[in-house]
Structure 1
Amino acid sequence: MQHLRQLLEIENSELAQLLRFSLYGLEATLNQARIEFPLDPGVEICDQVLQELHSLLQLSPDQPPQPDNGWEDVIILPPKELKLTHLREAFDSDSELSYYLGNSQLQSQTDSDLWNEIQRKLLRVPEDLAASWRQRTLDLAQEVGAIADDSNLYKLPFIRDEIIYPGLSGTVQTQGLRLYQQALSNSQTTQGNVSDLPAAFLFLYMNFIEIDPDLHHALKSVFSFDVISLHSKPEQRHQYIDALSDRFQRTQKAEENADPLLNLRAWIDMDEAIHSLVFVPPAERYSWWGKLQHESRRILKKVTDQANNAGNEVRIRQLSGLYADICALSKDDLQLDCGRIPGEVLTCLRVYARINQEESPGRVIFRSSR
């Protein structure tokens, strides 16, 4: 690693430039392979390799070489002048966005990272606000010579094809993001026969967690006392993915048994795991992210109808509105001091259920009333 760093830091070196291009190609290849083979036994080491490559590719050729002292290098580069500075300033100062996203400022230090950070945050606000802001980002990018590019997209496995947001080419070059059905098919090939939607969420979440450092989890069976960052707590990330995978397996077994109540209980647990992947504050219900997760609730409604048609008495309820109005139906709820309206439910992690006179409390995240 030391000699790679030294070569990359040499100014006006054709060899350094060749090495940089080669490392970019290796990074792109490993990222694509990581998507297509998410359960490969080499995934964890591959992630570490990608982190090392990312660190190398951030090196500036005018930075003096750092001595190799046996410890992991911490490289602090002077911030470069961003071409998208006006976009950052406009985004950070928008009060309507702050209402949904909280008051945290954008953290990216490169134009490429800034573009992706902004676009991912827009997935958490109402779709009309996101649409107007997405057009604004394209207009501001075009002012500095960058244009939308739908050909260079990071592919996330799911049950359908969808461009989530474009990349950029020109003066700023970066990948966009898309859902890609073929990537899910490739993943399924390595795992055997799986049901579409729970498998889709499993593989989508495994990949989304890798690219979005803002993601948290609130899954009670993993950690019941707080909303936990998956970026700063890697052990929680592994435990959450393991729990999601376990619940996915249980939905498969329940479907095979053809027992409507067993299937219903398994789906309630799976739906809880899906909705427990959250942001702080949680995404707005009618955002892209909110609608994505609601696909699980639609399946849960169908499974409930099947149980009722089989002669059972089942009622499920997604908890929303003022927390004071629904707290009797929930248990072990989590409280945040950010989000939308004080005293309001921010997201329903687990639905309330009544199955043949047996009640199962729901679970929510709510905004403190202070």
Structure 2
Amino acid sequence: MQPLQQLLATENSQIAQVLRFSLYGLEATLNQAQTEYTEDPGKELCEQLIEEINNLLKPAKVPEDAVVNESKLNESKSSELLSELRQVFDADLELNFYLGDAPLQSQNDNDLWNEIQRQLLRVPEDLATSWRKRALEMAQKVGATEDYVNLYHLPFVRDEIIYPGLNGSVQAGGLCLSKKALLKSDIDQIYNSEELHLLAGFLHLYIKLIEIEPDLHHALKSVFSFDVVSLKSQPEQCHLYIETLSDRLQRTQKTEENTDPILNLRAWLDIDEAIHSLVFVPPAERYSWWGKLQQESRRILKKVANKAIKAGNNVHIKQLSGLYADNCAYSKDDLQLDYGGTPGEVLTCLRLYARINQEENPGRVLFRSLR
């Protein structure tokens, strides 16, 4: 272990940094293995190895006066990052096109890092990727490093690091999706199909995400039909929205047990609408991380529609996008925003248009006014 300790303690060493990242990754992998293989004969040795890795990653003790001086230096560097990141991010015109021109609100490094990273989940992935690289480079200049250990776990049907945190001169948490967090809700005992498992994942993910994301709104017609509602400023709407999403999940479960493919399709149209009605203002771009996440329910909905077609029904579903003038004949009770995206275009499709055995079922959209 001594060479490992010496290498990790080597200042300004890129190799030491690579080793540290590798150890973080090994630790996370072993922790995950422990949860999956609870009866494995190597479990005790695995726990000992994790403890040794933890000890290796602990910083060496330094004199108290050195700690004070380093703390002051880190605080100075931290403030430098806070100021520079805020200024550059707020001034980016391409980001403003997708996010609006409201300035960042965070007043400390941890909140700022998370606010920026979560806003990047709402812009096209290529723009988000380039900006994440830029933000990390700025953080590294002031002595911060990526941290894949200090992550807030959101329950969902898969494991995925959404974005890392920061360690070193800047301390900030990251965010990830976690199957383990979802399994703690014992949903496998209730929703045992892949499709229902995904819907339950959305329900639990949304509950936790709403707790940490102040910018979320809902536009679910059956809860409030006249506007897009902030869940932070109107907590009673948050309760009603989650309650409706949960009710629609239970209804979908009941129709799954029914052999009528049309009843099942209608239930899926309803819960897909509830999933897509959790929105940001301006809404997330369709090919952003957030947009692609919500599309997962829509992909299964298309499979449900195909089952109804194979059963002899005349079914056509349509996602509304592009110019609002080309889509308004297929929608009803749409909501208008005066900013975000391109004037005159659909910003997000809340509910799919569906024609089921000659019966028209209008969709619903958020669109940008021409003003």
Q: After TM superposition, give the deviation of residue 143 of structure 1 in Å.
A: 1.2
- Structure 2 CA distance for aligned equivalents of residues 109 and 217 of structure 1: 26
The letter of the residue matching 2:278 is: L
Classify the secondary structure of the residue corresponding to 1:168.
Answer: strand
Deviation beyond 3 Å, 4+ runs, structure 1: 80-83, 189-194
1:169 to 143, 167, 170: 167
Shift of 1:146: 1.1
Contact 1:322 1:343 in 2 (8 A): yes
Q: What is the percentage of aligned positions where both structures have the same residue?
A: 70
Measure how far apart 1:191 and its partner are.
6.8
- Give how far 1:84 is off: 2.2
Q: 1:129-186, CA deviations, whole angstroms, 9 ceiling, x for partnerless residues?
A: 0000000110011111111100111001111110000011111112100011111111
Shift in Å, 1:188: 2.6
In the alignment, is residue 147 of structure 1 matched against residue 145 of structure 2? yes
**Higher Cα Rg: structure 1 or 2?**
2
List aligned pairs for 1:83-122, cutoff 5 A. Answer: 83-122=81-120
Q: Distance in 2 between matches of 1:227 and 1:338?
A: 13
Aligned partner letter, 2:359: E
1:344 is aligned to 2:342? no
Give the conservation status (yes or no) of the 8 Å contact 2:188–2:197.
Answer: no
Taking the TM superposition and a 5 Å limit, the aligned residue runs for 1:1-370 are: 81=79, 83-189=81-187, 192-194=190-192, 195-370=196-371
**Residue 187 of structure 1, CA deviation:** 1.2
Residue pair 1:153, 1:167 contacting (<8 A) in 2 also: yes
Separation in structure 2 between the aligned mates of residue 330 and residue 340 of structure 1, nearest angstrom = 19
Distance verdict in 2 for CA 1:110–1:288, change over 3 Å: same
Which one has the bigger helix percentage?
2
- Kindly provide the CA deviation profile for residues 301-348 of structure 1, in whole angstroms up to 9, marking residues without a partner as x: 000000000110100000011001110110000000011110000000
One-letter amino acid of the structure 2 residue matched with residue 331 of structure 1: K
Instruction: For 1:161 and 1:258, locate their aligned partners in 2 and report how far apart those are by CA, in whole Å.
Output: 33
Q: Tell me the TM-score normalised to structure 1 length.
A: 0.77
Deviations 1:258-290, CA, capped at 9 Å, x for gaps: 321111000000000000000000000000000
CA 1:137–1:221: 2 relative to 1, 3 Å: same
Q: What do residues 204-261 of structure 1 show as CA deviations (whole Å, max 9, x unaligned)?
A: 1111111100000000000000000001110000000001001111111110113211
Query: Root-mean-square deviation (CA), in Å?
Result: 1.3
Q: 1:216–1:138: structure 2 CA closer, same or farther, 3 Å change rule? A: same
Structure 2 unmatched runs, 5+: 1-77
- The TM-score with structure 2 as length reference comes to 0.77
Report if the CA contact (8 A) 2:191-2:197 is conserved. Answer: no
- Secondary structure of residue in 2 paired with 1:140: helix
1:193 and 1:327, CA in 2 relative to 1: closer, same or farther beyond 3 A?
Answer: closer
Equivalent in the alignment of 1:11 = none
Point out where structure 1 has 5 or more consecutive residues left out of the alignment.
1-79
How far the C-alpha of 1:82 sits from its partner, in A, is: 5.8
Q: Is the 8 A contact 1:84 1:141 kept in 2?
A: no
Count matched residues.
Answer: 291
Distance of 1:284 and 1:150 partners within structure 2 = 27
